[in-house]
Amino acid sequence: MLKLFIAAFSVALLYWLWSKKNKIFANRNNKVDPFITTIEAIELQTFLAWDTPRSCLESDGIRYGKQFKLKFPPELPHEPGCRCEATKLFYTSDDVFQGTSPILTHKSALGDISAKDALLLKNILLKIINNPEADSFTDFMSQFESSSFSTDIRTQAIILLEQAFKAAKNE
């Protein structure tokens, strides 16, 4: 009779452990390893100056790679005066989805400038090259917010843009 009681008690104890296993071993089930993918890209970066060619300005910031529409970067230099560089970048899913990408700088005649300043400078240079409609540089700059440049490069950027405007008018 004692053996039957021990066997029944053991079966009951095993059933109770099996039914409570999720609560007892819950700490092990909650640990999920993150799945991080790495995306490799090649980005063209143009040296921004008053005499940067149009093709360089237009291709600045374009990314190439397996996961991108354009697979292979063009041969460099594009044309005479080209100072583009092909920079290899690696992005992780954490960078993309959590917004933890590092703030990049851009090479220019003004030194290394922020990506925001570089984009503004590039867009104004492209506008100067494509169609400088205004008769004077002051009229041309009135369509832009020059205060959007960082205070430490604002004066130098305006001088550089004026030089590009004068060069475009002389051609």
Residue 150 lies in a domain: yes
Residue 86 lies in a domain: yes
27 in any annotated domain: no
- Is residue 11, in this structure, part of any structural domain at all? no
Structural domain boundaries enclosing 166: 38-170
Q: Is 147 left (phi over 0), alpha (psi -120 to 50) or beta?
A: alpha
The pLDDT of residue 171: 64
Question: Quick check: is 134 in a domain?
Answer: yes
Instruction: Answer yes or no: is 29 within a domain.
Output: no
CA distances from 160 to 7, 82, 137 (A): 91, 18, 12
Distance separating alpha carbons of residues 137 and 160, to the nearest angstrom: 12
Whether residue 17 lies inside any domain: the answer is no
In a domain, 16, yes or no: no
Q: Hey, how many other C-beta atoms are within 10 angstroms of the C-beta on 101? A: 12
Q: Report yes or no on whether pTM surpasses 0.85.
A: no
User: What's the pLDDT at 16?
Assistant: 83
pLDDT tens, position by position, for the chain (171 residues)?
Answer: 888 888 888 888 888 878 877 666 665 555 666 666 788 888 899 999 999 999 999 999 888 988 888 989 988 888 888 999 998 888 776 665 665 555 578 899 999 999 889 999 999 999 998 876 778 888 888 888 878 888 999 999 999 999 999 888 886
Q: What is the pLDDT of residue 132?
A: 64
Give the chain's domain count. Answer: 1
